[in-house]
């Protein structure tokens, strides 16, 4: 009886062992099958990529070609450095065909097959920096576009919100205008396209949680520290210079932003509270040259309003239909009162212009100017889709 039980146990053990071997064998076959499927899929993907590469002929995107143009030009002028611009504002040009002949890049005909494309790189000396700007023209398919051209494509209007032709400049007016520009750290608004196609920008909002005086020096006319309304000798000049030179993530401008800027003349002419000339003729009768950052003039603020009753400096109607009227705090303009030495114009939080002692504390909205060769990457200037620069 015990002998039969022993045989039964041995038989059951052999049967279990045999079943385990069968299961392991089946699992190996399944794994092999899965691996073969995976390998097969990978081979198919590689073949598709190879076929696509052959069909496309290694074509580059337009932006990739622009980058190749720029890099080739940099390499070209490392050897031909004697051809680089020597004076501020000077520009030299090298064509894509020249770069291809020098072996620094492939011909455009190889980079974009079945397209007639031409290209060049303009090299400028701006603020002692050499700026390389690539241009690519592939007809109706693609053309490198400067920001000022994208702005002008919005069209000129004679009434309502939009871009106006005023005194040889293209000026944004109204409270609903598509003039937003996203820089690396902050959003700005386009005030105008100047006559040389350089673009004046103002910070969209006042610098958060910071107020400063325009100046706080002792003024002998007032017999106390009411400050002076002359920007050249003001604390504001010191403050803006420091602000411009700041670096890091919290800085107003990144180094990339600064490379796109142009120096400009700040209009410092003073005006009375009753002045009705809003062409900047009064303000620009005196100017501080070659500056990189400043503040808005009275005329520029008034011109942003399309209210027909906005005529003189202190007119309350100028707060109406004005995209610059968007602050909950008072902020400084750069224009002083011509009738004394200590008052400076400010924009009140409700949006009209008023006078204050230079020693008062107000918010700041810096003004900068973009060079005319700054390129647009995307956007239409609207609040939800601002212009983004290359």
pLDDT tens digits, residue range 207-260?
977 889 999 999 998 999 999 999 999 999 999 999 999 998 889 999 999 989
Give domain status of residue 160, yes or no: no
How do residues 302-317 score in pLDDT, each as one tens digit?
Answer: 999 999 999 999 999 9
Last residue of a domain, one of 96, 123, 144: 144
Strand partners, 375: 146
Give domain status of residue 85, yes or no: yes
Q: What is the mean pLDDT of residues 308-336?
A: 95
Average pLDDT for the chain = 88
Give domain status of residue 359, yes or no: yes
Q: How confident is the model at residue 54 (pLDDT cuts 50, 70, 90)?
A: very low
Last residue of a domain, one of 123, 144, 165: 144
Q: Which domain holds residue 98?
A: 62-144
- Examine the domain organization and report whether 206 and 350 are in the same domain: yes
- Examine the domain organization and report whether 214 and 313 are in the same domain: yes
- Examine the domain organization and report whether 342 and 225 are in the same domain: yes
Residue in the block written with tokens 């701006």: 126
Q: What is the mean pLDDT of residues 286-291?
A: 95
- Examine the domain organization and report whether 85 and 209 are in the same domain: no
> Which has the higher per-residue pLDDT, 31 or 113?
113
Whether 49 shows a pLDDT value over 80: the answer reads no
- Examine the domain organization and report whether 222 and 326 are in the same domain: yes
Give domain status of residue 338, yes or no: yes
- Examine the domain organization and report whether 218 and 350 are in the same domain: yes
- Examine the domain organization and report whether 213 and 358 are in the same domain: yes
Give domain status of residue 3, yes or no: no
- Examine the domain organization and report whether 139 and 217 are in the same domain: no
Threshold 0.85, pTM exceeds: no
Whether 56 shows a pLDDT value over 60: the answer reads no
The tally of domains found in the chain comes to 2
Q: What is the mean pLDDT of residues 69-98?
A: 90
> Which has the higher per-residue pLDDT, 90 or 369?
369
- Examine the domain organization and report whether 276 and 352 are in the same domain: yes
d(CA 165, CA 171) in angstroms, rounded, equals 6
- Examine the domain organization and report whether 360 and 212 are in the same domain: yes
- Examine the domain organization and report whether 236 and 133 are in the same domain: no
Give domain status of residue 164, yes or no: no
Q: How many residues does the chain have?
A: 390
- Examine the domain organization and report whether 118 and 215 are in the same domain: no
Give domain status of residue 219, yes or no: yes
Last residue of a domain, one of 124, 144, 164: 144
Give domain status of residue 129, yes or no: yes
Q: What is the mean pLDDT of residues 260-289?
A: 95
């Amino acid at each position: 009886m015990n002998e039969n039980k022993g045989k039964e146990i041995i038989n059951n053990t052999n049967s279990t062992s045999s079943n385990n071997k069968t299961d392991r064998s089946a699992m190996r076959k399944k794994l092999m099958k899965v691996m073969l499927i995976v390998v097969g899929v990978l081979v198919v993907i590689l073949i598709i990529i190879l076929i696509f590469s052959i069909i496309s002929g290694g074509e580059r995107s337009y932006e990739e070609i622009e980058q190749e143009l720029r890099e080739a030009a940099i390499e070209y002028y490392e050897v031909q450095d004697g051809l680089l611009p020597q004076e501020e504002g000077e520009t030299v040009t090298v064509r894509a065909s020249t770069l291809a002949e020098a072996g620094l890049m492939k011909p455009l005909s190889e980079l974009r097959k079945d397209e007639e494309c031409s290209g060049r790189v303009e090299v400028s000396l701006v603020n002692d920096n050499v700026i390389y700007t690539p241009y690519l023209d592939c007809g109706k398919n693609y053309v490198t576009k400067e920001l000022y051209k994208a702005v002008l494509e919005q069209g000129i209007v004679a009434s309502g919100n939009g871009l106006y032709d005023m005194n040889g400049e293209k000026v944004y007016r109204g409270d609903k205008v598509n003039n937003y520009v996203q820089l690396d750290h902050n959003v700005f608004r386009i005030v105008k396209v100047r006559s040389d196609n350089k673009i004046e920008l103002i910070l969209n909002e006042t610098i958060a949680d910071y107020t400063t005086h325009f100046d706080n020096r002792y003024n002998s006319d007032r017999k106390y520290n009411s400050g002076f309304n002359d920007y050249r000798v003001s604390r504001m000049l010191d403050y803006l210079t420091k602000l411009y030179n700041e670096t890091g993530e919290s800085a107003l401008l990144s180094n990339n932003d600064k490379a796109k800027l142009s120096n400009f003349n700040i209009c410092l002419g003073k005006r009375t509270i009753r002045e009705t000339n809003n062409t900047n003729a009064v303000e620009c009768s005196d100017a501080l040259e070659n500056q990189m950052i400043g503040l808005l003039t009275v005329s520029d603020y008034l011109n942003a309003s399309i209210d027909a009753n906005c005529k003189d400096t202190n007119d309350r109607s100028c707060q109406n239909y004005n995209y610059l009227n968007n602050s909950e705090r008072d902020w400084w303009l750069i224009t002083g009162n011509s009738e004394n030495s200590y008052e400076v114009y400010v924009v009140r939080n409700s949006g009209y212009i008023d006078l204050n002692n230079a020693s008062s504390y107000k918010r700041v909205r810096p003004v900068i100017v973009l060079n005319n060769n700054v390129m647009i990457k995307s956007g239409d200037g609207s609040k939800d889709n601002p212009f983004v620069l290359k």
